[in-house]
Amino acid sequence: MAIAPESLAPLGAQVELALVHYPVANKNGETIGSAVTNLDIHDIARAGRTFGIARYYIVTPYEDQQQLVTEILDHWLTGRGSVYNEKRKAALALVRICESLEALYAQVEAQWGTRPTVLATCAKPQANTVSYEAVRRRLSAGERFLLLFGTGWGLTSEVLARVDATLPPISGATEYNHLSVRSAAAIVLDRVLGNR
């Protein structure tokens, strides 16, 4: 389904994105909390601004990690960085901090006045997968979405079991499937909101 360029911003405004640092899995499938990285904050915010999303949430329960995000945002939104690079300021203005998935769901629902459809990303096929084309059609019909991305080795099975659906894994020309979350977020946003 082709989407006219002038309609991209309104559709993006119906999408919010969250980068989850807890609960996520490690390579052994154990539940862990991962560290926030500066690159993830910046690059996903830039992709989010490019595709016109409403907000980008960093989900971490760790106070030191929340403080790190706050310091980075302060530098670029109100400090010297805000004058040095206005485009970076515009991207990082999308970023919010949440301490848990429960707080995230409550905040997004309060923001929109309704519960969005929660879609998770996963590198492995899931039983409840919805196609990118279907999401695009549902966006055009006015549906709102919250996209969850996991750090570490991805979202835990418990998180995946509680979402409304999952998006198809990103596959390339080989069996290798270990994209950075920054790359995955950019690809997913293009598939959901990019001009076709």
Q: What is the pLDDT of residues 143-180, one digit of tens each?
A: 999 999 999 999 999 999 999 999 999 988 998 888 99
> Cα(54)–Cα(12) distance, rounded to whole angstroms?
7
Residue 9: which pLDDT band, with cuts at 50, 70 and 90?
Answer: low
| pLDDT at residue 7, as a whole number | 46
Q: At residue 130, does pLDDT exceed 50?
A: yes
> Helices 38-50 and 63-77 meet at what angle, rounded to 10?
50
What rounded mean pLDDT belongs to the chain?
Answer: 94
Tell me the pTM. Answer: 0.93
**Which range among 81-85, 154-158, 188-192 shows the weakest confidence by mean pLDDT?**
81-85
| pLDDT at residue 8, as a whole number | 47
What domains, with CATH codes, occur in the chain?
Answer: 5-191 (3.40.1280.10)
| pLDDT at residue 126, as a whole number | 94
